[in-house]
Amino acid sequence: MRIIFAVKLAVYAAILLFSGFSLMASAEGKSALVITVNGAIGPVSAEYIVKGIQTAEADPTIEALVVEMDTPGGLDTSMRQIIKEIQRSPVPVIVYVAPSGSRAASAGAFITMAAHVAAMAPGTNIGAASPVNMGGEGMDKTMKRKVTNDAAAYIRSIAEARGRNADLGEEMVRQGMSMSETDALKQNVVDIIAKDLPSLLAAINGKTVKTGAGEKVLATAGLTVKRLEMNWRQRIFDALANPNVAYILMMLGFYGLFFELSNPGAILPGIIGAICLILAFYSLQTLTINYAGVLLILLAIILFVLEIWIPSYGALTLGGIVAFVIGSLMLVDSPEEYMRISLSVIISATIFTAAFFFFLVGSGVRAQYSKVTTGREGIIGATGVADTDLSRDKEGSVMINGEIWSAYSHDGTIEKGREIEVTKQDGLLLTVREKTR
């Protein structure tokens, strides 16, 4: 019996040793592709993750794809696009909520639970997956129940497919539940807690996962790390997805078009304004903007312009400021903080716009109506000093603005040194009269 036991023990040891050598050998020359998603889930981040999966699939040296994620949530359509690609992927996809302080909220919770391996760093959290209307408009009870039931069924199916806690996943949707990384690990929401990427790769080595191509044993110990960054186009459009950027672009678009309409033929302000407005509308396409907010902002700009032409003693400017602030607050009224325009940005834009129209544009318009001081129109009414005696019949000279002009008296005699005022110009010859005090 002892001999048989010793033989079995030797066989088991050989199998374990061989498996370890196999995993280490298979990891030689291979690497883990790492991408980083930091921000809301939208069309750009979906394209970025899908591109990462496709890149890993096309490269035989890639053992696994790691998605380092910190997101407050995002669009349902983009989330589902990412999850479909993960479920189809023959390459294991590891979602790692990191670094410390990160979160996988809302759409991020769905994506994490859909991963072949779900991992979290210390000091992170997951959950708060209740569906909301991104447009900020309230849903009636029937619609809200339908949307919630759909999301709950979806996260349950994802969790069950990965062998994770479907009940807690559903509670994240229905109750908006959120939990720390330690609770998530205890409750079988995620698979592992790792302090950093090397620790994560070492910990999951030898784990069996079910990919789109079937079961696969991960050989991740000692993998080199390759990072796939967003390309320049993705970085630009990812920045445009920020509602604060969209708001600023919309303001610049209004300014540019206003300049063009005020100064026809300037061309450049109109071109810049049109480009900014188009980019703003692209940014706002994911937000379903409140058109009442847009109309209030337009009303505010109209009131600012009217202040220049109509002396209202500040009443129009005050009304414009109120309309501008309310319109900006209403423009994107989402329950999610990351989808709202920052109050500091709104206040800054309001102050700048009010000052712009009140001082800059006002000064320009007032300058157009001010008295001309150059040319033929500018010399009429100008004052100076008689450089010689003048009369209606005797030509003399006068000093005006440091220049000497030939002049006749308008009526009577003007003695040298008297202050004069120009009444008429005929070429280089002026007609002047003595200025009365």
Residue closest to 178 by CA, chosen among 71, 74, 106: 106
Q: Name the token pair of 3.
A: 């001999």
Residue closest to 401 by CA, chosen among 371, 367, 424, 378: 378
The answer to whether residue 106 is catalytic is: yes
Q: Which residues of 200-215 are buried (b: 16+ CB within 10 A; e: fewer)?
A: bbebbbebebebbeee
Active-site pick, 8, 146, 210, 416? 146
The amino acid that residue 183 corresponds to is D
Residue 236: CB atoms within 10 A of its CB come to: 12
The secondary structure of 265-299 as a DSSP string is: T--HHHHHHHHHHHHHHHHHTTT---HHHHHHHHH
Eight-state DSSP code of residue 357: I
**Helix and strand element counts for the chain (H, E):** 16, 16
The secondary structure of 377-430 as a DSSP string is: HHHTT-EEEESS-B-SSS-EEEEETTEEEEEEESSS-B-TT-EEEEEEEETTEE
Residue closest to 86 by CA, chosen among 51, 114, 55: 114
> Cα separation of 122 and 119, whole Å?
10
The answer to whether residue 283 is catalytic is: no
- For residue 200, the SS3 value is helix
- For residue 52, the SS3 value is helix
Residues 398 and 417 sit within 8 Å (Cβ to Cβ): no
Residues 393 and 407 sit within 8 Å (Cβ to Cβ): no
Active-site pick, 45, 78, 106, 178? 106
Residues 398 and 384 sit within 8 Å (Cβ to Cβ): yes
Task: Identify the burial level of 380 via C-beta atoms within 10 angstroms of its C-beta, where 0-12 means exposed, 13-18 middle and 19 or more buried.
Answer: middle
Tell me which residues are annotated as active site.
106, 146
